[in-house]
Amino acid sequence: MNQVRTDRFNAFLDCDGPTIVPIPGGPLSQTTLAVKDIFDVAGYKTGCGNPQKLAEASPATRTAPTVQILLDAGAQFIGKTQTDELTFSLNGENAHYPRPINPAAPERITGGSSSGSVAAVAGGLADMAAGSDTGGSIRAPASYCGLIGLRTSQGAISLEGAMPLAASYDTFGWFARNMDLYEKIAALLLPPSTTAFRRVLRLSELDNLLAGPAEKAAFESAFQTVERVVGTARPATLTAMDIDQRYQCFRKTQAYEAWQYHGPWIAAAERNLGPGVGERFAYGSTIDDQSYHGEMEKRAELTDELHQLLADDGLIIMPTVPGAAPEAKAPFESVQAYREQALRLLCHSGLSGLPELSLPLSSVQGAPFGLSLLGPRGSDRALLALGNRILQASSANNANGTV
C-alpha cells in the first residue's frame, strides 16, 4: 500500500498494491503523486469508477508511460483517486462511492471526472495528481476547487495505458499545488513553446453564458487583471455553428465514440450505471455512423475557423465555466442543467483540439471561479508561462489593494 495520508475528502480509493519506492534525485523528488483510477499503475487494478470493472480487472503489469515519466522523475506514488463512473460525467459524483469533498467550498461539488485528483491536491493530501480532460474534467474541477488546470493540445501527451472515453477528445491532464510545480511537470511531458501572444481576443457570445450578474462582475474583474498583463482585448466572432450547435456537435460525437468503446461491455450484462451516466451511454447508442460523420465535418469547420482566428499569436480570454460549483445538495436536474451550460463553454477547446488554461483568479458567492486562456495548438507551455505572470500580477494587485 502507498496510502500514507488521512483522507478527509474522500479523494482516494482503498486499493491494494505494491509499495513503489520513489527514485531519488529527480526534478520531482520529495513530491507526492496521486493517480486517477483510469491509468494503469503496475500491480494495481484499474477500476475506472465502476465496481464491476474493478472486479473484472487484473492488476496492471505495466504503468501507463506518462505516469511512469513522473515516477522516474522522483515523484512518490501515494494512491489511486476517485473518478466519475467511466469518466462520463462533469459533476464529481459517483453513485457507487462516497462523494469527494471540495476542500475550497465543502458544500459544493468538486466537479469531475477527475474528482478525487482535484480533491487530493486542493486538500493538501498530494502535491500533484494525474487526471484527464475529455469534456472539461481538468478545467471544471480546477475552477470549482481554486486550482490551475490545463487541457493540453490534443494528442500532445500519450494516453497509452489509460481507459478511453472518447478517443478524439481525451487528453492527459494534472493538478499541482502551485504553478512552479505545474510547470515542472509540463517540462517533463510537453515540448517547449515559443508562442508570443500578440493579439488578445474576446468572444462576447461566450461571456453571455455566465450564470448571472455576480458571475459577470467577478469575471470582469479577473478579465481586467489579465488585460493589465497581456494588453487590451478586441472583440471577435465565430461563424461556424452557433453556441447550441457546437454543444450538440460535441455531445453527439463524444457520446458516439464513448459507445463505440464501452457499448459492447455495457450491453453484455446489467451494469447498474449511475444516474446521468447510463442515460449518456444510452444516447450514444442511438447515434449512427452517418450522423457522427456529419457532425465531425461541422467540427472540422469550427476547428479551421478557430485556428485561423488564433493563427500562431492569438489568445482568447473566456470564462472557464458559468460560475462557482453547484451546491452538492442541489436537485439532480439543476446540477445537470448547469453541466449542459458549462459544456457550452468547455466544448470549444475539445472540438478544436486547442490548449486551454484555467486560472484561479476570482471567486463568486464565496467559492472559487476560474478564467480561461485559449491559445494556438502547441502553445501549452507558453500559456503556463503567461498564466504564471498573470497569477503573480493578481497576487501583487491583491497585496496592494488594487481592484
What domains are there in the chain, each with its CATH number?
32-189 (3.90.1300.10)
pLDDT tens profile 43-95: 999 999 999 999 999 999 999 999 999 999 999 999 999 999 999 999 999 99
- What is the pLDDT, as a whole number, of residue 264? 98
pLDDT beyond 60 at 4: no
- What is the pLDDT, as a whole number, of residue 6? 77
pLDDT tens profile 165-217: 999 999 999 999 999 999 999 999 999 999 999 999 999 999 999 999 999 99
* CB-CB neighbours of 175 under 10 Å: 31
- For residues 297 and 303, give the distance between their C-alpha atoms in angstroms, rounded to a whole number: 10
* CB-CB neighbours of 6 under 10 Å: 7
Q: Which residues are catalytic?
A: 36, 113, 137
- What is the pLDDT, as a whole number, of residue 293? 98
For 87, the 3-state DSSP assignment is helix
| pLDDT band at 249; cut points 50, 70, 90 | very high
- For residues 309 and 238, give the distance between their C-alpha atoms in angstroms, rounded to a whole number: 9
pLDDT beyond 90 at 373: yes
- For residues 392 and 179, give the distance between their C-alpha atoms in angstroms, rounded to a whole number: 10
- For residues 41 and 59, give the distance between their C-alpha atoms in angstroms, rounded to a whole number: 8
For 29, the 3-state DSSP assignment is coil
Q: Identify whether the C-beta of residue 120 lies closer than 8 Å to the C-beta of residue 11.
A: yes
CB under 8 Å to 162, separation ≥6 — which residues? 38, 39, 40, 64, 66, 132, 170, 172
Q: Identify whether the C-beta of residue 196 lies closer than 8 Å to the C-beta of residue 172.
A: no
Angle between helices 380-400 and 213-230 (to 10 degrees): 110
Set of cell numbers at residue 15: 486499493
- For residues 251 and 362, give the distance between their C-alpha atoms in angstroms, rounded to a whole number: 29
CB under 8 Å to 237, separation ≥6 — which residues? 203, 205
| pLDDT band at 5; cut points 50, 70, 90 | low
pLDDT beyond 90 at 14: yes
Q: Enter the DSSP assignment of 39.
A: B
- For residues 245 and 403, give the distance between their C-alpha atoms in angstroms, rounded to a whole number: 37
For the chain, the 3-state helix, strand and coil shares in percent, each to the nearest 5, are: 40, 15, 45
| Dihedral of alpha carbons 222, 224, 229, 233, sign | positive
CB under 8 Å to 274, separation ≥6 — which residues? 85, 93, 94, 95, 96
Set of cell numbers at residue 73: 522523475
- What is the pLDDT, as a whole number, of residue 71? 98
- What is the pLDDT, as a whole number, of residue 100? 98
- For residues 81 and 113, give the distance between their C-alpha atoms in angstroms, rounded to a whole number: 11
pLDDT tens profile 120-160: 999 999 999 999 999 999 999 999 999 999 999 999 999 99
- What is the pLDDT, as a whole number, of residue 401? 62
pTM of the model: 0.96
1 vs 338, residue with greater confidence: 338
pLDDT tens profile 105-128: 999 999 999 999 999 999 999 999
